[in-house]
Amino acid sequence: METMTEKIKHNLLNCILELIFGKKSISLILIITLLRRSFTLLQLTL
């Protein structure tokens, strides 16, 4: 459980870094994929 949440936090940090560096299109794709992954993880846990 802890490793999963840490993984999600790490992915969020990566997305934030991408946004800061101005790679808008890449960061947008990362955010969308991250949202999909987190959604599937929530479905699996529930």
User: What are the pLDDT digits (tens) for 8-33?
Assistant: 888 888 877 777 776 666 767 778 88
Scan for tokens 């560096």, then name that residue: 21
- Return the pLDDT at 28: 76
Let me know: does 9 contact 41? Beta carbons within 8 Å.
Answer: no
Residue 4 reports pLDDT greater than 80: yes
Length of the chain: 46
In total, how many domains does the chain have? Answer: 1
HSE of 42 in the Cβ direction (CA atoms, 13 Å)? Answer: 7
Domain that residue 16 falls in: 2-45
Residue 7 pLDDT class (50, 70, 90 cuts) = confident
pTM of the model: 0.39
- Measured over the CA atoms of residue 33, residue 18, residue 1 and residue 46, the dihedral's sign is negative
Residue 46 reports pLDDT greater than 70: no
